[in-house]
């Protein structure tokens, strides 16, 4: 009596899952369709979309995000000064030293300017983040500004929250927000001269320490673990 062996088959390879769709695809397409070549660069990083635009279309980019794409929450607006630090500060009066009798330190070589995510072509950039409370997506916008006369159109008509942030950026960096209804001081006296958050502003503290004040960093106590040290540094 003969028996029939059951037919054996090779185990099927699991089908690789398709990657999840890019949640920013329609956002980027809408911005690119409206701004064209004024959309200079883009990158998705850490869950947010970063977009660099030409400064002439800065306000238009905000209008598209707010009115067409539903980014209804304004997070913040600020500025970046990408100028590499110099030490000693070239604006410090030559020969004064640091006041403790020590010789003036040798100048450090000037590092190459680096402009972060999506790059940049100038020293100054304006930066803002908006968020969609329904889609739970965030978009950073940035634009290069002229180093001598940094200016860009105001967002205050698109996002009311930008009003205060633009005043602060105007006061601290000297950016002009064209069309802003009230660029007036928030922190400094009205007759204050200069822009304290520019890296070449001669703050008194920079006469005795390099940007951003590295000599303030204190060593960890003996026996302090590397893990705790890293956690301490990350929390600062």
pLDDT at position 150:
98
Q: What is the DSSP letter of 151?
A: E
- pLDDT tens sequence across 97-121: 444 555 555 666 667 888 888 999 9
Decide if 140 contacts 118 (C-beta within 8 A). no
pLDDT at position 95:
46
Q: Which residue has better confidence, 70 or 206? A: 70
Decide if 127 contacts 142 (C-beta within 8 A). yes
Q: Is the pLDDT of residue 10 over 90?
A: no
Q: Is the pLDDT of residue 92 over 70?
A: no
Give buried/exposed letters for 76-93 (b at 16+ CB in 10 A, else e): ebbbbbbbeebbbbeebe
When pLDDT is cut at 50, 70 and 90, the band that residue 70 belongs to is very high
Shortest CA distance to 138 belongs to which of 21, 7, 1, 23?
A: 23
pLDDT at position 11:
67
When pLDDT is cut at 50, 70 and 90, the band that residue 236 belongs to is very low
Shortest CA distance to 197 belongs to which of 103, 111, 127?
A: 127
Mean pLDDT of 117-129: 95
Mean pLDDT lowest for which of 58-72, 78-92, 202-216? 202-216
N- to C-terminal Cα separation, the chain: 83
Q: How far apart, in whole angstroms, are the C-alpha atoms of residue 125 and residue 80?
A: 5
The rounded mean pLDDT for the chain is: 82
When pLDDT is cut at 50, 70 and 90, the band that residue 48 belongs to is very high
pLDDT at position 156:
98
Highest mean pLDDT among 40-49, 168-177, 222-231: 168-177
pLDDT at position 19:
77
- pLDDT tens sequence across 27-43: 999 999 999 999 999 99
What number of residues does the chain have?
236
pLDDT at position 217:
47
Q: How far apart, in whole angstroms, are the C-alpha atoms of residue 27 and residue 61?
A: 11
pLDDT at position 126:
98
């Amino acid at each position: 009596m003969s028996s029939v062996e059951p037919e054996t088959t090779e185990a099927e390879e699991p089908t690789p899952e398709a990657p999840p769709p890019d949640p920013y695809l329609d956002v980027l397409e809408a911005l690119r369709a409206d701004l064209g070549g004024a959309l200079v660069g883009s990158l998705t990083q850490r869950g947010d979309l970063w977009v660099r635009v030409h400064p002439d279309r800065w306000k238009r980019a905000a209008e598209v995000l707010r009115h067409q794409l539903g980014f209804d929450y304004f997070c913040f607006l600020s500025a970046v000064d990408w100028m590499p630090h110099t030490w000693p500060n070239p604006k410090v009066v030559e020969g004064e030293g640091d006041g403790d009798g020590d010789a003036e330190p040798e100048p450090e070589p000037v590092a190459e300017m680096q402009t972060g995510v999506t790059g940049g072509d100038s020293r100054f950039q304006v930066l803002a983040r908006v968020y969609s409370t329904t889609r739970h997506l965030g978009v950073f916008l940035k634009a290069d500004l002229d180093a001598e006369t940094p200016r860009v159109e105001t967002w205050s008509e698109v996002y009311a929250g930008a009003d205060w942030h633009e005043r602060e950026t105007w006061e601290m960096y000297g950016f002009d927000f064209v069309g802003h209804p009230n660029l007036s001081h928030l922190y400094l006296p009205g007759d204050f001269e200069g822009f304290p958050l520019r890296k070449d502003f001669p703050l008194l503290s920079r006469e005795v320490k390099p940007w951003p004040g590295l000599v303030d960093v204190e060593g960890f106590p003996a026996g302090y673990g590397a893990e705790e040290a890293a956690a301490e540094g990350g929390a600062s």
